[in-house]
């Protein structure tokens, strides 16, 4: 993975289940990872390896909220490419992402 978030950056994310009372469209997305047409939008982190977020693997019909292993993301390789973190990402509600 390129541009791995630091421990300090990860510590700013809500813990798992901390935002479960917030409707999905209103959840704040803290991190965005991508590779090709695949995107992972991160809303929560357990502090160790598990994210909760929205994954779109290039097919909007199959995109969904769920748990994402940080370790697995770090180790995905496609040909010579690796997952990258969007360094220009600004916090936004999930509804703003879905509009685009």
- The model's pTM is 0.93
- For residue range 55-98, what is the model confidence (pLDDT) as tens digits? 999 888 889 999 999 999 999 887 778 999 999 999 999 999 97
**At CA 59, angle to CA 24 and CA 89, rounded to 5?**
55
Neighbours of 24 (CB within 10 A): 13
Give me the residue spans of the domains in the chain. Answer: 7-99
For residue 71, give the 3-state DSSP assignment: helix
Q: Given a cut of 90, is residue 99 above it in pLDDT? A: no
Which has the closest alpha carbon to 65: 81, 51, 46, 79? Answer: 51
Contacts of 37 (CB under 8 A, 6+ apart): 57, 58
> What's the pLDDT at 79?
76
Residue 100 confidence (pLDDT): 65
């Amino acid at each position: 993975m390129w541009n791995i978030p630091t421990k300090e950056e990860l510590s700013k994310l809500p813990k798992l289940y901390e935002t479960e009372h917030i409707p999905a469209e209103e959840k704040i997305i803290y991190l965005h990872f991508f590779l090709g047409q695949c995107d992972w939008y991160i809303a929560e982190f357990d502090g160790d390896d598990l994210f909760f977020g929205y994954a779109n693997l290039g097919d909007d019909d199959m995109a969904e909220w769920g748990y994402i292993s940080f370790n697995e993301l770090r180790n995905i390789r496609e040909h010579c490419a690796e997952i990258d973190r969007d360094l220009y990402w600004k916090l936004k509600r999930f509804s703003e992402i879905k509009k685009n």
